[in-house]
Chains A and B, each alone.
Chain A
Amino acid sequence: DTAVSQTPKYLVTQMGNDKSIKCEQNLGHDTMYWYKQDSKKFLKIMFSYNNKELIINETVPNRFSPKSPDKAHLNLHINSLELGDSAVYFCASSQGAERNTQYFGPGTRLTVL
């Protein structure tokens, strides 16, 4: 019944590794997002996809590569993880944008050692 789900919930890994986070929404929305929330709790948009097309890429290092195989899924792959990548990553979805509500997944807490 979960509207927006993410896996894994926790991810602990060493510097230099490559990891992926998966996101799925069952709300029938056409737009999905990745946000990063750092240790100061600041939530910043990273990417947005609308109907599988990348529409927002907010000066994120190219070690981060999102992929949307279909409207219901948006995955995030991170290469060569760095200490500064440690954060909580939230996936969200909405139907269109502007006045429409975003629904967030539970977050993936990434710790890079």
Chain B
Amino acid sequence: RKEVEQDPGPFNVPEGATVAFNCTYSNSASQSFFWYRQDCRKEPKLLMSVYSSGNEDGRFTAQLNRASQYISLLIRDSKLSDSATYLCVVNIGGTYKYIFGTGTRLKVLA
């Protein structure tokens, strides 16, 4: 079993739709959680950190469920520019080790 698992997609959604991605992690020592965005042939960039209480940044909402060991990302009112691969990232507590999921590809269609 992979340490961090994501549905690879692609998720094809129309503009304006709401789309949600889940990510599960297997290491219970995981302490910090992030969503990164990676555009085609570009480097990953931080989209948002995920806090225990859940957090929102504009159209993006991230949730953490420690009991079930998953995190989620909700994108509301999808834009064409949201088309990218979304990477779930987990940091193992007390270490410098970040583990990336394989990413979920999103295509927002006009």
Contact = CB atoms under 8 A, between A and B. Distances in A.
User: Do the two chains bind?
Assistant: yes
Interface of A: 31, 33, 35, 40-45, 48, 50, 55-56, 90, 97-99, 101-107
A97 B98 CA distance: 9
B25 to A, nearest CB: 15
B32 A43 contact: no
Interface in B73-96: 85, 87, 91, 93-96
A99 B98 contact: no
Nearest to B95: A97
Could you tell me the dominant secondary structure of chain A's interface residues? strand
Nearest to A42: B102
Contacts, number: 55
Given A41-B85, A41-B102, A41-B103, A98 B43 contact: no
B91 A97 contact: yes
Nearest to B49: A99
Given A99-B49, A104-B45, A106-B43, A43 B87 contact: yes
Nearest to A41: B103
Contacts of A103: 46
Interface in B22-59: 31-32, 34, 42-46, 49
Interface of B: 31-32, 34, 42-46, 49, 85, 87, 91, 93-100, 102-103
Contacts of A33: 96, 98
A40 B102 CA distance: 8
A52 to B, nearest CB: 14
Name, among A35, A43, A50, the residue most crowded by chain B CB atoms within 10 Å (CB to CB): A43
A27 to B, nearest CB: 13
A101 B43 contact: no
A43 B42 contact: no
Residue from B31, B42, B43, B98 with most neighbouring chain A CB atoms (10 Å): B43
Given A55-B96, A101-B49, A43 B91 contact: no
A43 B97 contact: no
Contact of B96 (A43, A50, A90, A104): A50
11 contacts: A33-B96, A44-B100, A45-B99, A45-B100, A48-B96, A55-B96, A97-B97, A99-B49, A101-B46, A103-B46, A104-B44
